Amino acid sequence: MTLFCYIDGSCQGNPGDAGYGVIIKGDNKDTLETFGNYIGNATNNIAEYQALIACLQLTKKYNMDTLIVHSDSLLVVNQIKGFYKVKQKHIKELFDTVQNLITSASYKVKIVYIPREQNKEADSLARRAIRLKKQIIE
């Protein structure tokens, strides 16, 4: 089985109120789970990494062969793929967490960049978590 995830971090101001959204879809592209979370004052890059970490943690419970994560953060995607260097210490800690989650997974993990227009559902969930200032599980 392949899972498809759509993740997005959002920030009102940078830094500012921040949150993220994670949409988990199955082989048939039906939504299995959505998770949004308000994380308080943070930068957009932190929110994007927190979305990826949450995605990797949430999907551990599924019996899958492959996890394909879609993100509209060119920075995060290219840092994870090794195309961009991670220069900031606080981002390096998040990057290391992601790398540990990926290397310890018993399934293949693929991170894919998508344009913002193709990520509206995760973006909306992240913005709703910020607006409500709480965690959203659906």
User: How would you write the pLDDT of the chain (138 residues) with one tens digit per residue?
Assistant: 999 999 999 999 999 999 999 999 999 999 999 999 999 999 999 999 999 999 999 999 999 999 999 999 999 999 999 999 999 999 999 999 999 999 999 999 999 999 999 999 999 999 999 999 999 998
Q: Kindly state the helix (H) or strand (E) to which residue 13 belongs, with its residue range.
A: strand 2-13
Long-range contacts of 63-66 (CB under 8 A, 24+ apart): 63/1, 64/1, 64/2, 64/3, 64/107, 65/1, 65/2, 65/107, 65/108, 66/1, 66/2, 66/3, 66/107, 66/108, 66/109, 66/110
Tell me the C-alpha distance between 19 and 2, whole Å: 26
Instruction: CATH number of the domain at 26, please.
Output: 3.30.420.10
Both structure tokens of 37: 């979370």
Instruction: Give the pTM.
Output: 0.97
Q: Looking at the 3D structure of the chain, how many domains does it have?
A: 1
Q: Which domain holds residue 69?
A: 2-137
Supply the pLDDT for residue 84: 97
